[in-house]
Structure 1
């Protein structure tokens, strides 16, 4: 049987599907219609590996500053207790922000500014309702029992701190910085 969103039964299978979407093998995810945004391109190898390592992402963006836009490097997604423990161990001694919750706390952080006005926010568990349309009830229940994790670099435009820390937490090779 071919693995699809509606028959995935584990975080590993959801991570594999998300990795396949990131690399262009699938057209969309339950949380994102169409291909990844262009800015995600340099992050694709790392994000695919992160998804295959047990952190199923549903949002990410690089840190950058460009023509009135400012972004904080950030990534959000679902994981189990063991993966959360690894993330906490890696992120706690840094200046990076880690939020984790099972239900929505209402805590939000701005991660994109347009001419000084908050444009994109992260944080707070989005719930699993948007997975209902494309996933089985068992998959939705699985996600409801997972941790929703938000990782943010607090420095606007910095793009060389969050990603290596995330890679190290999941025992992945360090990412190659853009332009290297």
Structure 2
């Protein structure tokens, strides 16, 4: 990471500052981000997720990791099944409930791992990718303090404390493959990326308000 970029990330003082920098990294305006190899940005196959992820970051949800839905044979000749999924850091309780309520109302899987001093919810991970039937990746599950330090290096001390003691919410499509890409549509309506369409039950400026449980 260049000195200029290191200073840029170090200068972020709030979650909003961090979200803006993450959005700009996703969009290719910034070459580096904490926890990633230099000049190692989003993969080409996930470019279609960038507008959704950037909007989430600018809405107060900082994305930690994500993947698209896929089913098929890859270069090595093995069969892969992958669920669309995203993990977000949420530090605002109101935003947390909007996200979780919308996800549950859409029938998506949710895993909550809460690191607030008065929290304590630690839900088990969901397998999100398999290769020839063997589990390869999962979303959710407890994050170690050591991993937090690896994932968010170089941040302002107070900001690091805030994101490392926030609530990590993983949203996972229950379906493997492209049907699970509906996840991004739900999130786009949450952030206002998509607008009202009478033919689409999710196309509403009023967010679902069901209970945050499931």
TM over 0.5: yes
TM-score, normalised with respect to structure 2: 0.74
Residues in 2 aligned to 1:97 and 1:159: alpha-carbon distance in whole angstroms: 11
Contact 1:90 1:165 in 2 (8 A): yes
Residues in 2 aligned to 1:46 and 1:70: alpha-carbon distance in whole angstroms: 22
Which deviates more from structure 2 when the two are superposed, residues 98-107 or residues 39-48?
98-107
Q: Deviations over 1:33-86 (max 9, x none)?
A: 211122211111111111111110011111111201111000002112121111
Alignment partner of 2:105: what SS?
Answer: coil
Cα displacement (A) at 1:170 = 2.6
Task: Specify the alignment match of 1:50 in structure 2.
Answer: 56
Q: For residues 70 and 131 of structure 1, do their structure 2 counterparts lie closer, same or farther at Cα, with a shift above 3 Å needed?
A: closer
Please give the root-mean-square deviation of Cα atoms over the aligned residues, in Å: 2.1
Task: Specify the alignment match of 1:178 in structure 2.
Answer: none
Which deviates more from structure 2 when the two are superposed, residues 119-128 or residues 64-73?
119-128
Larger Rg: 2
TM-score, normalised with respect to structure 1: 0.87
Q: For residues 54 and 144 of structure 1, do their structure 2 counterparts lie closer, same or farther at Cα, with a shift above 3 Å needed?
A: same
Q: Deviations over 1:69-112 (max 9, x none)?
A: 11100000211212111112212222201122223826111111
Task: Specify the alignment match of 1:177 in structure 2.
Answer: none
Q: For residues 133 and 121 of structure 1, do their structure 2 counterparts lie closer, same or farther at Cα, with a shift above 3 Å needed?
A: same
Cα displacement (A) at 1:144 = 2.6
Residues in 2 aligned to 1:124 and 1:108: alpha-carbon distance in whole angstroms: 4
Which deviates more from structure 2 when the two are superposed, residues 152-161 or residues 54-63?
152-161
Question: When you count helix as a share of all residues, which structure comes out higher?
Answer: 2
Give the aligned length: 174
- Unpaired runs of 5+ residues, structure 2, are 74-78, 116-120, 196-214
